[in-house]
Chains A and B, each alone.
Chain A
Amino acid sequence: MSEILKRVDLIFGEYSDQKYKTLEKTIKRPNDDIIKDILDSGLRGRGGAGFPTAMKWKFTMEQPGDEKYVVCNADEGEPGTFKDREILTQVPRKVFAGMAICGKVIGAKKGYMYLRGEYRFMLPELLKEIDVFNTNAQELDIDFTIEIRMGSGAYICGEESALFESMEGKRGEPRNKPPYPTVSGYLSKPTVINNVETFVNVLMICRIGPVQYKKLGTRDSRGSKVFSVSGDTPIAGIYELELGMPLEKFVEEFGDGDTKAVQVGGASGFCVPRKKFKDTIIGFEGVPTGGSMMIFNSSRSMYNVLHNYLDFFEEESCGQCTPCRVGCQQLRKGIEAVKRGDKPITYLEQLMKLSETMKITAKCGLGQSVANSFSSIVNNFKEEMIY
């Protein structure tokens, strides 16, 4: 592996010699110190949106009331992402410990893991681990228990407010924001919701300290990231890498020598064409990703790639808001019509404007992010859209 592309062993690194040792140490520290460490570490959420984790916790901690919740988002529905599954298989204790630290900091006694419906097969192992955690927590005198809730196979239920609705037994439709989860989340109580990987990062920051942690990554993208690499690559799989690498190096390492484009961040992410590999940084200062890296070589039709994404969004939109529900259908039908010649090439411009409207008017991140793949693919592969 190249110099620049550093393999890291933070997330998947071995457990400490003694069960829940870091947790035991951390719960003795003042909340403000813990928050300060996370703040100093520069950690931003690993679920996609990249919100600073320390701020999220701080806001929730400052909310009045003693009924608060910690929720771990393990819905992992983004196409091309399978890293949370790996984390939960390999190092579930780190996730639970991260959740427990969160519970202590914000004052929550209850944590939930919302597990993707398709991951039901992992349930027996996870439940065993949860028993271990709950027993240890008792021994450590930590008033925090964890429970698992199963998802029902809808991508939209990974969106935090739709996830709460789903946990409450309602239809998984995103809510209006504000109020944000920090004020009104699960059962309308202050809630921290983080991605699986985010919780592990917190634990590792608590273990190695922010100074050590900050050595990884760049100024805007601290730490390491677990990537799910798929597509036209001889070495598909899960890789933990330092954040802030140039895409060019990534392609050199993982591509098959004929890489035409990389879709960074799954269907809701951006498509980067070959000519931009050099100038593209993987991280919050460049192209952010929840972990999905899909590599396409020149045998791929980018029209088909986009069509697939649009099919996905058209089906997975919750359907409540106009721009997303109808916009997705129009984008898909629109590129079909241009391809067939039923609509002039200029119709693509119209569709670009529509995707921009979706971005600024849709109710949640799903509808808002359709434009990412749409405009980056259409702009960079216009000929493939037409001919």
Chain B
Amino acid sequence: MTKEINLKIDGIDLIVDEGTTILNAARKANIQIPTLCYHEDLCVAGNCRVCVVEQKGVKNLVASCAMPASEGMEIFTNTGKVRLARKHIVELLLSEHNADCTKCYKNGNCELQLLASEMLTGEPMYIDLVPDKKYTIDRYNKAIIKDDSRCIRCQRCVRTCEELQSVSALDVAYRGNHMKISTFFEHPLFEVVCTNCGQCVNRCPTGALIERNYVDQVWDAIYDTTKHVVVQTAPAVRIALGEALGMPAGKIVTGKMVTALKRLGFDSVLDTDFTADLTIIEEGHELLTRLKKALVDKDPSVALPMTTSCSPGWIKFIEHTFPEYLPNLSTCKSPQQMFGALAKTYYAQKRNLDPKNIVSISIMPCTAKKFEANRPEMRSSGYNDVDYVLTTRELAIMIRQAGLDFASLPEEHCDSFMGSSTGAAVIFGTTGGVMEAALRTAYEIVTGREVPFEGLNITPVRGTEGEVREASILINKTLPEWNFLEGVELKCVVANGLAYAKKVMQSVKDGTGNYHFIEIMACPGGCLGGGGQPIPTNPEIRSKRKSAIYEEDMGMTIRKSHENPEVAEIYKEFLGKPLGHKSHELLHTHYTPRKRY
């Protein structure tokens, strides 16, 4: 049993569990203490010092985020001493900071700005240090921009990249006045191990790490009457977009989002869900084929376990960290890229459009997708398969720019074709979703029966944050052509967040992990916690998004990818068969081994 601690904060008596920090104890009593370096997802740094409070009998102030409550402690969060110290600290940060907020992408959504406004910082208290600093901006990356002039050195990004992602692309360099957040030898982000996952962007309190935005380019395309602009939206966008537009977390806003996109002027509002279903068909067949080669043909060259490939942050990670396992990656492109390739081929044909006049836009919960769209191999239509990738946040900006009152918008449906969705596609947005969707389909292909789980809910593979989830499913009473799988126990594992991905791959490498199929999502919680999702992010917000996803799945009439009518249609009209020639040309890809340094 945990010990209980009695303490007093601002005169309020509190009982908390041993180990609770003063900050969290105060929050329990609804006393807000300002923070900058603290983040619920990360271990405590205690370096910004803005959360200082006064402790009775102690001369120095204490950092409330780092100080555990102790028996009989008396804390004051709002004394003159505390207030002055906090003001000094914010003023110090501002004196190092290029605070031209009107030119900053985070204007209006910045923790430093908010604190400065609360403290009524007016005339600067201290000397402007910025002219002496040789701040640099790394704009070379397609996904993420790093602007040192707006960095407050809180190290949230460093902790994110190391603790959550085990990538450590960012670290602290130099000492004292030269201390900065840097990459390996200060190379630009695109030259280092950074996966473009954007988790650091989600947690950066200021405008120092932001996505590279393509809002203006998309408006230009929309206004260009010679262009036909198609937009696809990923499953995780519709359960989070509302947050960036003033709605509470966990709201499903699919219909309003579609209406908004139509009103913004996109010529066709389609759905990444469609290619998510297509991914399941292709990837499911790929897995079955690999299993057949391994079990029937005894082909030693077949790479098992097979891992999913729809998370581009994961792709870049494995390319750098486990390049020897690239053959194990499914060759399926991500749903975004499948969509892009089809938009300028199948869709163009059907709509009788010249692909060169199609502009293909995608709205993603993800910054890594921006990088992915720019990979040289992603031009199988002969054009850029996807022209611009916007994050959920950028879409919210466009909606605000257009003056739409999002909450009051009516609800509409996506256009057809390539606009239909299933519950299986919806759950791509959460960890374990691809696995579940794949099993719903693969099991049925092999046995002719639905997966033996109530309501199609394969809860054992539903991943959670902060763990690796293993599950196995017994295949029996197969259809005759699949009888080589009779009695096979399909071993699956699901991981989210690259730190856990690393664990899984390490276990495969050292032989302790024996699996057939591995699902990896680069971001904590899966795409719902993606690097392009609304800021802030924390475990509570993500869990609400997750509930929304499963709610959306349950609300769908069709919940299995292979039952998506448009999927059946595209095979009939265009692709032929799964893993067929056309599929290989348009829907599959290859990978590039990269070095750690």
Q: Which residues of A contact B (CB under 8 A)?
A: 154, 156, 171, 173, 176, 178, 313-323, 325-330, 333-334, 337, 343, 350, 353-354, 357, 359-363, 368
Which chain A residues lie closer than 8 Å to B153 at the CB level?
319-320, 322, 325
Cα of A333 to Cα of B92 in the assembled complex, Å: 13
Cα of A172 to Cα of B152 in the assembled complex, Å: 19
Q: Of B47, B88, B178, which is within 8 A of A321 by CB?
A: B47
Whether A176 touches B63, Cβ cut-off 8 Å, given contacts A321-B47, A328-B176, is yes
In the complex, whether B44 has a CB less than 8 A from a CB of chain A is: yes
Judging by beta carbons under 8 Å apart, are A357 and B85 in contact?
yes
Judging by beta carbons under 8 Å apart, are B175 and A361 in contact?
no
Q: Of B44, B60, B171, which is within 8 A of A176 by CB?
A: B44
Which chain B residues lie closer than 8 Å to A327 at the CB level?
92
Shortest beta-carbon distance from A359 to chain B in Å: 7
The residue on B at minimum CB distance from A172 is B175
Which chain A residues lie closer than 8 Å to B277 at the CB level?
none
Which chain B residues lie closer than 8 Å to A323 at the CB level?
49, 88-89, 92
Judging by beta carbons under 8 Å apart, are B176 and A319 in contact?
yes
Judging by beta carbons under 8 Å apart, are A361 and B49 in contact?
yes
Judging by beta carbons under 8 Å apart, are B177 and A363 in contact?
no
Cα of A327 to Cα of B85 in the assembled complex, Å: 12
In the complex, whether B386 has a CB less than 8 A from a CB of chain A is: no
Shortest beta-carbon distance from A59 to chain B in Å: 15
Whether A320 touches B84, Cβ cut-off 8 Å, given contacts A326-B93, A326-B129, is no
Which chain B residues lie closer than 8 Å to A361 at the CB level?
49, 52, 60-61, 85, 88-89
In the complex, whether B353 has a CB less than 8 A from a CB of chain A is: no
Cα of A314 to Cα of B48 in the assembled complex, Å: 17
Cα of A167 to Cα of B175 in the assembled complex, Å: 18
Judging by beta carbons under 8 Å apart, are B84 and A315 in contact?
no
Shortest beta-carbon distance from A213 to chain B in Å: 30
Q: Of A156, A319, A363, which is within 8 A of B174 by CB?
A: A319
The residue on B at minimum CB distance from A358 is B88
Cα of A326 to Cα of B153 in the assembled complex, Å: 11
Judging by beta carbons under 8 Å apart, are B177 and A314 in contact?
yes
Judging by beta carbons under 8 Å apart, are B88 and A315 in contact?
no
Which chain A residues lie closer than 8 Å to B61 at the CB level?
360-361
Extra 14 A-B pairs, beta carbons < 8 Å, given A357-B84, A357-B89: A176-B46, A315-B176, A320-B179, A321-B47, A321-B48, A322-B50, A325-B176, A326-B92, A328-B177, A330-B126, A353-B84, A357-B88, A361-B60, A361-B61
Shortest beta-carbon distance from B45 to chain A in Å: 8
The residue on B at minimum CB distance from A325 is B179
Cα of A173 to Cα of B81 in the assembled complex, Å: 27
In the complex, whether B243 has a CB less than 8 A from a CB of chain A is: no
Which chain B residues lie closer than 8 Å to A319 at the CB level?
153, 172, 174-179
Cα of A353 to Cα of B95 in the assembled complex, Å: 16
Judging by beta carbons under 8 Å apart, are B49 and A363 in contact?
yes
In the complex, whether B296 has a CB less than 8 A from a CB of chain A is: no
Judging by beta carbons under 8 Å apart, are A322 and B93 in contact?
yes
Judging by beta carbons under 8 Å apart, are A360 and B59 in contact?
yes
Cα of A316 to Cα of B178 in the assembled complex, Å: 10
Which chain B residues lie closer than 8 Å to A328 at the CB level?
176-177
Which chain A residues lie closer than 8 Å to B177 at the CB level?
314-315, 317, 319, 325, 328-329
Which chain A residues lie closer than 8 Å to B152 at the CB level?
322
In the complex, whether B319 has a CB less than 8 A from a CB of chain A is: no
Judging by beta carbons under 8 Å apart, are B81 and A360 in contact?
yes
Q: Which residues of B contact A (CB under 8 A)?
A: 44-50, 52, 59-61, 63, 66-68, 81, 84-85, 88-89, 92-93, 95-96, 125-127, 129, 152-153, 155, 171-172, 174-179
Shortest beta-carbon distance from B408 to chain A in Å: 43
Cα of A363 to Cα of B153 in the assembled complex, Å: 14
Cα of A347 to Cα of B512 in the assembled complex, Å: 65
Judging by beta carbons under 8 Å apart, are B127 and A363 in contact?
no
Judging by beta carbons under 8 Å apart, are A360 and B126 in contact?
no
Judging by beta carbons under 8 Å apart, are B127 and A337 in contact?
yes
Q: Would you list the 10 A-B pairs with minimal beta carbon distance, nearest first?
A: A319-B179, A326-B92, A176-B66, A317-B176, A357-B88, A176-B46, A320-B47, A360-B60, A315-B176, A321-B47
Which chain A residues lie closer than 8 Å to B44 at the CB level?
176
28 sampled A-B residue pairs with Cβ under 8 A: A154-B175, A176-B46, A176-B63, A178-B67, A315-B175, A317-B176, A318-B179, A319-B153, A319-B179, A321-B46, A321-B47, A321-B48, A321-B49, A322-B152, A323-B88, A323-B92, A325-B153, A325-B176, A328-B177, A329-B129, A329-B177, A330-B127, A334-B127, A350-B125, A354-B88, A357-B85, A362-B49, A363-B46
Which chain A residues lie closer than 8 Å to B155 at the CB level?
320
The residue on A at minimum CB distance from B97 is A326
Cα of A350 to Cα of B91 in the assembled complex, Å: 12
Shortest beta-carbon distance from A105 to chain B in Å: 27
Shortest beta-carbon distance from B274 to chain A in Å: 48
Which chain A residues lie closer than 8 Å to B59 at the CB level?
360
Cα of A327 to Cα of B88 in the assembled complex, Å: 9
Shortest beta-carbon distance from B71 to chain A in Å: 14
Shortest beta-carbon distance from B507 to chain A in Å: 25
Q: Which residue among A171, A328, A329 has the maximum number of chain B CB atoms within 10 Å of its CB?
A: A329
Cα of A319 to Cα of B44 in the assembled complex, Å: 17
Which chain A residues lie closer than 8 Å to B67 at the CB level?
176, 178
Q: Which residue among A314, A316, A319, A322 has the maximum number of chain B CB atoms within 10 Å of its CB?
A: A322
Judging by beta carbons under 8 Å apart, are A360 and B85 in contact?
yes
Shortest beta-carbon distance from A188 to chain B in Å: 13
Shortest beta-carbon distance from A371 to chain B in Å: 11
Q: Of B49, B63, B93, B175, which is within 8 A of A156 by CB?
A: B175
Cα of A334 to Cα of B124 in the assembled complex, Å: 13
The residue on B at minimum CB distance from A362 is B49
Which chain A residues lie closer than 8 Å to B171 at the CB level?
171
Judging by beta carbons under 8 Å apart, are A316 and B93 in contact?
no
Shortest beta-carbon distance from B44 to chain A in Å: 6
Shortest beta-carbon distance from A333 to chain B in Å: 5
Cα of A51 to Cα of B252 in the assembled complex, Å: 59
Shortest beta-carbon distance from B94 to chain A in Å: 9
Shortest beta-carbon distance from B419 to chain A in Å: 50
Which chain B residues lie closer than 8 Å to A329 at the CB level?
96, 129, 177
Which chain A residues lie closer than 8 Å to B89 at the CB level?
322-323, 357, 361
Shortest beta-carbon distance from B111 to chain A in Å: 14
Whether A333 touches B129, Cβ cut-off 8 Å, given contacts A176-B66, A328-B176, is yes
Which chain A residues lie closer than 8 Å to B47 at the CB level?
320-322, 363
